[in-house]
Amino acid sequence: MASLCINRALIQPKSHLNIFVLSSRSTLGAKIANALVTSSTYSPPASFFQSVQRQSYFHTLPLGQRLEQISYSLSKPSPRSNSFRFGTCIHISKKHPSKQFSSSSSGGDCDGQITKLPRRLVKRLEKQGISEQEFVSRLKATPEFPSQYIAKADVEESETEHTRFVENRDQLEQLLKTMTTEPKFLSQEDSFPSDMKKLKDYQKQQGSNSSDIRLKMSPSMTSVVLFPGQGSQFVGMGQKLVHYPGVKELFEEASAVVGYDLLKLCLHGPKSELDKTVHCQPAVMITSLAAIEKFREEHPQAIENCVATAGFSVGEFAALVFSGVLSFPDAVKVVKIRAEAMQKASERTSSAMLTVFLAHDSRLKDAIKMAKEFCIERRDIADPVCTVANFLFPECKVLAGHEEAIEFIATNAKEFRLLRTKRLSVSGAFHTKLMQSAVQPLQQIMANMQLAPPKIQVYSNMTGAPYHAKANYPHLLGQQLVKPVRWEQILHTIYGRPQGVEFPRTYEMGPGKQMGTLLRQVNAQAYKHYHHIDV
């Protein structure tokens, strides 16, 4: 008999839920919580249930068995919130072969279907163009790791116990992100290799290559690769890469496409030319991909064990090349067109970008609203643009829009209790509707390109979630130009995990260390495993 504490999910009263299996006895509670979140309709803050009489049965499945399901039957809501709260333990006993599951309160059977998905999850799926049925099918078809369990519980609500709470509601949303988009990692105590020699022996015994089992490794053995965006460039970047095999060839191939000596511009400048949008976007992407060649030489196993990749703005194209979606020549062509189109869009309207650092009482929404009103009333701008263009971390956002609106906020920062503001040295208001004219050229050039399914999970700037196999890349990458970069959400999704589960090694490819700085602000524990590949 084992006792496990379940927390952070809301179960609606008198509902019959079919939810997915759990991985190991030690992490059973956390996995039930994840499953409950994805299978139930919930709305914080009433996000916990508590019960007195509870029984659960489970049995192990053969190695490599696919996801099975659990069914929960619940009754009697809490008199205060009309929902179940949790905080106490569920007692787990091993299922006897002859013991039959029952469903006393709902009378339903575990029929292998999810009865209802959370509204927030449905909206998120709609943004990605995924139907509920497709999501359920894909989730059910996802291979799980060994030592799975099927569990079923009959729960009756106590009329007297309604007092225990879990205060951190943010983790509820994180559980949803983890379950819906995060690769499933083994917990520390699952019996997988602890070093590279053991890993190779294990692979040899199993007769498989590393890509087959990388999601089954201990997280500390896996890697995540991040690519920077525009603004990270500096004169001299690439100097520490040129002696690695294949790097000069990369720059030569890219130079033939863009029409100028890209390596010379990166190494010697001048800075005024390198900083132009039309030049720096290809330069940053090519330098980042050249860093991969250095990475491949120095950390070959980290390449093989990579489980996720993401890039900031133009860095997303480097991530798509790294994941196998785009070929290198096609990526250079796309980024060249993208940079030229964004440069032209910037020249149409006087616009700017502003980094704002926030306090707990900052009035950012008021600042944006009043900046727009100022533009309409004082500057005769009929449809002013002022919006969040980059979500960096909780206390920091990047605003973009008309020059007059940005200047208004910078001048009146104290009135809106903004801690600090900083102008970005860019040519326009990227990731706002002022870039609308750049969308069509990018989508047109991508329309006839051969795009492959990603070999590694790659995250979309626009949605903050991984691309799925049938993603409309031209549409999403076109919309990325006029929608905010959800970098903070991407980092939460990649690095969110139950307590006690280790973090992967994170490598930043390309100029600067800005991605590491953002990671430290969003997840300090994950940052402890961060490394920069110097260029």
For the structural domain made of 224-333+434-533, what CATH number should be given?
3.40.366.10
Q: What are phi and psi of 188, to 5 degrees?
A: -60, -35
Count CB neighbours of 128 within 10 A: 19
* Separation of alpha carbons 527 and 57, rounded Å: 39
Q: List, by residue range, all CATH 3.30.70.250 domains of the chain.
A: 350-428
Residues of the chain with CATH 3.40.366.10: 224-333+434-533
Residue 484 CA to residue 353 CA, distance in Å, equals 12
Q: What is the pLDDT of residue 128?
A: 66
Q: How far apart are CA 234 and CA 535, in angstroms?
A: 10
Angle between helices 119-127 and 132-140 (to 10 degrees): 100
Tokens of 530: 């961060």
Asked if the 350-428 domain carries CATH number 3.30.70.250, the reply is yes
Q: What is the structure's pLDDT at 469?
A: 78
- Residue 370 has a pLDDT of 97
Question: Which listed residue (431, 468, 492, 529) is catalytic?
Answer: 431
The span from the CA of 286 to the CA of 230, in Å, is 12
Does residue 313 carry a catalytic annotation?
A: yes
* Mean pLDDT in consecutive groups of 10 residues from the start of the chain, 535 residues: 34 33 40 44 29 29 29 34 33 33 32 51 70 60 31 27 31 44 33 39 44 61 95 96 94 96 96 95 98 93 93 98 96 97 95 96 96 95 96 96 97 96 93 97 94 94 90 94 96 89 94 96 95 95
pLDDT at 123: 75
106 catalytic? Reply is no
Alpha-helical (H) ranges within 435-513 are: 439-447, 473-479, 487-495
pLDDT of 500 reads 84
With residue 356 as reference, give the H or E element that holds it: strand 351-358
What φ, ψ does residue 84 adopt, rounded to 5°? -85, 135
Hey, which residues does 306 pair with through a beta bridge? 223
> What's the maximum distance between 2 C-alpha atoms anywhere in the chain?
79
Catalytic residue among 255, 313, 323, 362: 313
SS3 35: helix
